[in-house]
Structures are given as structure tokens and as C-alpha cells.
Amino acid sequence: MATAAPASVEGFDCTANRMYPCQAYALYRASFAGVSLDLAAIGDLFAVSRFMVVHANNLSTTATPANGQPLLVPLQCGCPSRSPSSYAPMQYQIDPGDTYWIVSTTKLQNLTQYQAVERVNPTLVPTDLDVGTMVTFPVFCQCPATADNATTLVTYVSSPGTPCAT
């Protein structure tokens, strides 16, 4: 099993021995963050089609995921603009009451950190975001190393009770 070093608040490091860009996945739990159980809404959040989510999870196009159901969301992972960190750039339109921290921790379920959002949006003032402002949220991801013999990696947030192999 291929593993990457844990992400810091900046994400995973871009390294020469990894194949960028790559197809990666984020594990997202349906309706944990006020995002509808509708596959289209989940796809919209990550800017992928619901058909991509359906295909990645072997679901029917009419499926409604159960509350808390883990879903694989396909991502295009890389090191955008020669970033030192690998991520999938996700465009998000600020809603009333949103902050980098709220979107990172609730809607994106800690798949990124607000510090990384600040880094990739240097021209925005985090404490002065207008409703409708488009912000890039860097969803943490990593590409396999050439020696891993893996084709894709999944980014997920462990929670209490998540089994961990040593």
C-alpha cells in the first residue's frame, strides 16, 4: 500500500520522484457539512460532474447517498503554478457567513487547512471576503511515487475510531 507523509497545514510536498499531475481521490462523507445528499451538489462543491462521482463509487445515476456515506470524489492533483505543495485547486464562491476556516473545516471536512487557502490566494484579505468572491481552496492530495507501484492515492481525514495500520 502506497502512503504519503502526513499533510502539514500547507499540504503534501511536491517531490521529484512523484508523477504529476495525476488522478487522485478525496474521501468525502455525504451530508456531514450541510451539503445536500444530492450527488450533483457534492459534484458541484468539488467542480466535478455527478457522473464522475457516480462512476468512482459504482452507484446508479439516481442514487441518493446515505447520511455520512463515504464517497470517493475524483480530483486532478498536481503542483499548480510551481507550488511547493501538491493539491487539487477547487474554486469556491463565498456565501454569507463563510470564512476560509468555516469552508475548510465544515464544507470541505478538513480536506484542506485555512493556512493553505491563504497561501494560494495571496491577493485576497481573509477577514474581508465579499459574498460572491471566488476563492481557490487547495484540496490536499498526492500523486504516487514512481516506485510505489500504485496508480492513485486517496486523501481522507481520519476520525475517532478510524483503524490505522502500523
CA–CA–CA angle 11, 14, 15 (5° rounding):
140
Q: Quick one: pLDDT at residue 19? A: 86
Mean pLDDT by 10 residues, the chain (166 residues): 59 88 93 73 91 95 89 94 90 96 93 94 95 97 86 78 58
Q: Quick one: pLDDT at residue 1? A: 46
Other beta carbons less than 10 A from residue 159's beta carbon: 10
pTM: 0.86
Q: Quick one: pLDDT at residue 166? A: 47
CA 85 vs CA 9, 48, 121, 135, 143: distances in Å = 10, 22, 14, 18, 11
User: What is d(CA 15, CA 3) in angstroms, rounded to the nearest whole number?
Assistant: 14
Domain ranges, ordered by start, for the chain: 17-155
